[in-house]
Amino acid sequence: MPTPWIIEGNIDSRWPINTRGNVGEVYPEVVTPLSYKLGVLPGEKAWREAYRVLGLLKSDDFSSSEPVIIGLYGGYVYLNLSYLRMMGVRAPGSSAEAIDVSFFGEGDPPKYVPRKGDKSFLSALKIFKVVLNALNAKKLPKVVAESFEIASHYETLRPPLDASDEELIEFLHSFPDAFFPAFRNHMLSSALAAVVSGTLADASAAAGEPGLVTHLVGASGDVHSAQYSNDLYQIAKKVKEMPVVNSEFDAGVEGLLERLEGRSEAKEFFELFEDFVNEHGHRGPNDWEISSRTWENSPELALMALDRMRIAEYDLSPSVRLQDNESKRLEAAKKVRSHLGLKERLQFDKALKSAPFWAQAREATRDRAVRVNLPAKQVYRELVRRAAERGGHPDPVRVALLDPYSELPEYLKNPDAYISIIEERGKLFDRFSEVTPPFFISSQEEVLTLEELEEIQNSLDIVQPARSGDVLTGNAGSSGKAKGRARIVMDPADALNFEPGDVLIAPFTDPAWTPLFLPAAAVVVNVGALMSHAIIVSRELGIPCVVAVEGATEKIQEGSMIEVDGTAGTVKLLD
């Protein structure tokens, strides 16, 4: 008998191709029913609304309200490649292939086959108007300010954590209404950022040098995902001037705050770190998941990165690395412009000027959408804590395997009655976590059972490590070259061997990894594309980055010397 997951989606026959590309960064782990019901479902509605505003959505695109753009298959979240390609098909001057490059960048997706109903003159006209406004952007779009207001307002609505179970549950159930507008703004800014950066990528390809797009996009400045690193680095520099605090860091991150608590020599450090957590504590690994760790509830995540910055013997400030950013950008623009016709040149120039604003908007609206999660996460963890005192399960991830509407309220009343259910689902969760989901799914028949996934996982050949002289190829991300020791980091909380000047090799990256970028000589990631988080942050910090290096964390051996070329998209194993 096939073992099902708690929730399973159905492949839409009109939009059959789904992929883990891009979404593997933001939903890297098995998704819980808590986050699926409260986050993914309103996220689907918000995405559709963003595309309606953009002009992409046609009234007959979807036959029901069931999730299509964000699917759930075999426990993992997928994005619908078939439908996202419509952004390229219906937008004037774009293509399905351009969307593949911008968003997914890995694997060999099924080729786009035109069908009746894909193109739309009315959609093209609407999109043209919106894109024209986007290309003329001379400041941050208004969706950024709107998202800040949404997040701030929702935080003021959170009841005190000593409120009744019923009040806290009611607030938790209100999360979808707050998340919807914040996520809609993020999807709108992401779509327009993709179109604008895609224009630069197409122009670079037309010039015969696709890698030039890494110079053209460059650093935008004031990008939220990079600000975490900058703020933490300022604390790291202060720590080096505090003998007592610095000594306690030498003794290890675990238990650090407890060892320093109440000591007058650590007062300034606590004030600085508290300010950081108040500003950025909503971020963490897998941060769309409501049951996940954050820098607020798991401060050791930020302390580990701070510790790695602290031991640097040279200046890690991005300004040092970005000194030639503008000259590279101008030189690349000159090369590309000479290969373009008059019409293409005008569009290229507009994209070049507006790209920084849309890169900033994409990351800012994402940051605020995640910020909306914070009050819900705080309330949810308080409910888990209370239930644990009554004999319930202490792990927030395990409790998140209960349905937030039909089961969680009853669990709070009688935790004992649900312990066996949580344990049974926890075993399934662990099994799904051990398998690698298919990168592409193109039909309902290709949605594999857990047993089939486990059989495939067990039959996989052992990956042969790369040897001296081998060159691994991925996608160009952030320009420049760098050499260093390869450090394989699978979790940002487990980076003790990672030192300044090493090359960070990661399976994926989200904002929780960002502070580790700053001391890195370069970044290499298994997955990713032009719009990947790893690329955007690497550009802001002036660090070479290569993404979509398939199996990098397995092929590159820990401690080996490598050279990363972020413009060419290559990683070379040295002697």
> Which pLDDT tens digit goes with each residue over 378-429?
999 999 999 999 999 999 999 999 999 999 999 999 999 999 999 999 999 9
CATH number, position 516: 3.50.30.10
Q: Would you call 461 exposed, middle or buried from its count of C-beta atoms within 10 A (0-12, 13-18, 19+)?
A: exposed
Q: Are residues 45 and 90 in the same domain?
A: yes
Q: Are residues 476 and 450 in the same domain?
A: no
Q: Is residue 528 part of a domain?
A: yes
Q: Are residues 24 and 129 in the same domain?
A: yes
Q: Is residue 247 part of a domain?
A: no
State residue 477's pLDDT score. 81
Radius of gyration of the chain (CA): 23
State residue 494's pLDDT score. 84
Residues in the chain: 575
pLDDT of 37 above 90? yes
Q: What angle do CA 375, 376, 382 make, to 5 degrees?
A: 90
Q: Is residue 190 part of a domain?
A: no
Confidence of residue 315 (pLDDT cuts 50, 70, 90): confident
Average pLDDT over every residue of 491-505: 89
Domains: count for the chain: 2
* Cα 117 from Cα 531, distance rounded (Å): 28
HSE on the CB side for 134, CA within 13 Å?
28
Provide the residue range defining the domain that includes 107.
1-135+390-398+406-460
Task: Report helix, strand or coil for 492.
Answer: coil
335-384: per-residue pLDDT in tens? 999 998 888 899 899 988 998 888 889 889 999 999 999 999 999 999 99
Q: Are residues 2 and 94 in the same domain?
A: yes
Q: Is residue 561 part of a domain?
A: yes
Q: Are 290 and 400 in contact (CB under 8 A)?
A: yes
Report strand pairing: 522-525 vs 545-547: parallel
pLDDT of 470 above 80? yes
* Higher local confidence (pLDDT), 464 or 512: 464
Tokens representing 207?
């010039």
State residue 296's pLDDT score. 95
Work out the angle between the directed axes of helices 267-280 and 300-310 (0-180°, nearest 10). 120
State residue 223's pLDDT score. 67
38-56: per-residue pLDDT in tens? 999 999 999 999 999 999 9
Q: Is residue 491 part of a domain?
A: yes
State residue 2's pLDDT score. 58
Q: How far is CA 120 from CA 15, 91, 96, 215, in A?
A: 16, 9, 14, 34
Q: Are residues 130 and 12 in the same domain?
A: yes
Q: Are residues 496 and 556 in the same domain?
A: yes
Stated pTM of the model = 0.89
Q: Are 398 and 190 in contact (CB under 8 A)?
A: no
pLDDT of 210 above 90? no
Q: Are 516 and 489 in contact (CB under 8 A)?
A: yes
Q: Are residues 5 and 86 in the same domain?
A: yes
Q: Are residues 441 and 530 in the same domain?
A: no
- CA 96 remoteness from chain centre: 22
Average pLDDT over every residue of 250-266: 94
b/e for 40-51, b at 16 or more Cβ within 10 A?
bbbbbbbbbbbb
Q: Which of 242-251, 320-329, 425-434, 436-445 has the lowest mean pLDDT?
A: 320-329
- Percent of the chain predicted with pLDDT > 90: 60
pLDDT of 106 above 80? no
Work out the angle between the directed axes of helices 224-239 and 533-541 (0-180°, nearest 10). 50
Q: Is residue 552 part of a domain?
A: yes
Q: Which range has the top average pLDDT, 1-10, 15-24, 220-229?
A: 15-24
542-569: per-residue pLDDT in tens? 889 998 888 899 999 999 999 999 988 9
Q: Are residues 126 and 25 in the same domain?
A: yes
Q: Is residue 203 part of a domain?
A: no
pLDDT of 177 above 60? yes
Tokens representing 262?
């109440």
Q: Are residues 540 and 411 in the same domain?
A: no
Q: Which residue has the tokens 């600000």?
A: 227
Q: Are residues 6 and 113 in the same domain?
A: yes
Q: Is residue 311 part of a domain?
A: no
Q: Are residues 1 and 126 in the same domain?
A: yes
